[in-house]
Structure 1
Amino acid sequence: MPYPRRMKTKPLTDARCCNARFDEAGGNKLFDGGGLYLDLHSSGSKKWRLKYRFNGKENLLTFGDYPATSLADARSRRDEAKRLLAEGKNPAFERDVKKQTRAIAAQNTFEAVALEWYEAQQATWSASHANRVKKQLDREVFPLIGQRPISSIGAPDLLAVIRRIEGREAFETARKTLQTCGQVFRYAVATSRAERDPSPDLRGALKAVPVKHMARVGESELPELLRSIAAYEGEPETRLALRFLALTFVRTIELRQAEWTEIDVERREWRIPAEKMKMRRVHIVPLADQTIALLSELRALTGHRRWLFPNSRRPLQQMSENTILYALYRMGYRSRMTGHGFRGLASTILNEKGFNSDWIERQLAHSVQDGVRAAYNNAEYLSERHRLMQWWADYLDKQGGGTDHPDRGSKIDRYAYESTSGPRSLGRHFIKGRVRESDMCLKNSAFRRRALRLAKVVLQIGDMRHRTDVYCH
């Protein structure tokens, strides 16, 4: 008796797939032919499956849900599976290999490696620097090459990223972005996910960065600026912030983040924690007499707050980043002076007056560019910087047309505070009332005792020669 002929499977249509519903009575597998069928579930889902035999065993391969995976896509994947079977390969095994390859590739994309590098480096950065780097990657780099395997990215690809930034004339951003990409590539090389760093290949291809210094007034304009600050009619906290910035010449972000717990009046120091500093190193700012007096005035206004200079509208937050700049604008210094300008102004004047450059650079919290010098020079120069900051405060008083301390003369020359000045000169200043005994504590004890002894002898014998107006220039 002949076997009955198998009926040919009628191919599915999109309409039938769309209208098909699960039936409790059965018949929930809609066959398309070649082992492909649509499996209906009571939950309402419809899954494409392929039934096939490999090495004598029945296997089942799932292609996805309908309609996310269309009928045409399911047939195409069935045909690909049949091709693999014809080559003696198991489609399920090949699918798993591809999935694993994609997973590895996803871990080795530029974005994945960059985020891994970012997490490793973040602890060594200030919060503000970490935010800048993250925004730089998110905005400038990831949209173009983020999803590409990092090993496949070459110099031309990197140049395309940089050219896009240069196109809006953000040359400094372009330079910093290239530096960041270079660090990511070097991390990839170290973790065996890239062969080399292509960023050095772009040397010479970048457009020159126009030198742009922060706007600042010259020394001759300083008296006018100080008088404008003293006469500022805005918020008193803003006026004091401007004065504080002039006295300490810290970065504006360091001023905005200053907390009362960081101020040590007894030591006459402001200790800025490492996590707030650009170079991730604790920074000590010596406080001059004038700065201490300013803090006393400020404490009456904001001493009950966390911040020295809280936000005027939201006191629990720090001062807005634009407060200082807009105050200078209102004073008529648009394009002439910025908050950062006090740093350049102080550096220029202090260097011109002959102060030790190491003291100045340490006070500015600058990093030492010379690697050998940096390795050997970890000195804080704290006592020297106390003298420097007091001289600077006295200098500002003199430039501003007066001093907030009537008992303190405004004609004290820097040489009265430097080691090159002798006890006799310091003694003369003491006699004239230009320097107090407490100021002499800035010198070593033997120096101070000798200066005081000379001063007392002069006073006792009435030697008028030492009472002349000599400023030890």
Structure 2
Amino acid sequence: MLSDAKIRAAKPRDKAYKLTDSHRLYLLVKPNGSKLWKWNYVYDGKQKTMAFGIYPMVSLVNARAKRDDARALLDEGKDPSVVKKLRIEANLEAARNTFERIAREWHENAKSQWARIHADDILRSLERDVFPAIGSLPISELTPPKILEVLKPVEDRGAIETAKRLRQRISAVFIHAIAKGIAEKDPAEKLGAVLKPLRKGRQPAITDLGRLRQMIDDAEQDYARPITRLALRLLALTAVRPSELRGAYWEEFEDLNGEEPLWRIPATRMKGDLDRKSEIGGEHLVPLAPQAIDVLRALWPLTGSGSLVFPSNRHGHRPMSENAIGYLLNRAGYHGHHVPHGFRAAFSTIMNEWAERHGKKHDRKVIDLMLAHIPKEKVEGAYNRAAYLDRRRELAEIWASLLTETLPSPVALIQRPTKATGQFSRRRIPTEAPTGFQFPQLDRHISPSR
């Protein structure tokens, strides 16, 4: 049996020699003075030798522990040398499988399901906020506290929603790694509970005219029901609340064939208190630009036989889903950038800026009326709902011209794909409105109880 004293006293000789310990462990003393731990064993009838390291880096106690671990593997029918090599390879592979490498692999694999702008946004967010901190670390060694170290700086700069989206994306990368056998668990899974809750406030909206046009065009090119695309276009043109658009009835539209077309939204469907909803004449008046009439003209062959302008796909007597337009914007890559309600902020911002340069004295007040904002004074509110109607029509037409300058005709939206597979609408509607088209009389629709 060896001891530390015997090992330290061992001097080099002209030839290498062994100092033996128990169970075939020995120390090989070489002529240059180095001392190497070795262990002999038999596996599958063959004599084999395994190295345990250099003394004193590996002490006598550690060498015996390595020998005992190897003997335990041998008892299980495993070759300790092979197991050691596999562990080394696994460690090397784990080091190669950094978070950034796996994240880019996940992104490349998943990006076909996203719009290009959304895919680019996801990768940029990882490159900006995640890769610098943990990108070079093996993904299998990352822990919840380490992931939280990535998310907290994003949260601390006020980007709470971004931090939550980053956590979801990091979690998706780990799910990909788990499926490939690269990681065993998702350390980001439970971190959503410790991040700050989202503050309620202004909803995200694109208020730059060029970006707004691009967003509408991107969404209209994505797969959707033709009715959903046309609903998006009319929502952008009128800047009404999404709930008011979804619940629109054909009977609410007046003079569609004339020179002063109007959408009269009943007070009962408007946002406001019970007093507002019970007022006589408390409806919201929406002058319609020619571009909005074009949307209704494209819609008429699709839904004109019913009462609702935008019926549900499954139940014609119910309005379309409240999420339909939002999902369309998300699929087009604008999640977190613009929501259906955001068209009101876009209209307000862009038209108020336009009014600063080209407008008339009361245009700011008129724009506010067009958004159906309720003044504090009830008398003023009752008066203003019908005020400045001619100017409201002029501003509606200016807004429509600015917004649709680069957009296709609404009728062209009908023939675009309705599903991600590229399936097209079965309705064969001309891509141009028929010459001399006239809306039928709309008073034939019976007003439903609501």
Normalised-by-shorter TM-score class: 0.3 to 0.5
- Normalization by structure 1: what TM-score? 0.39
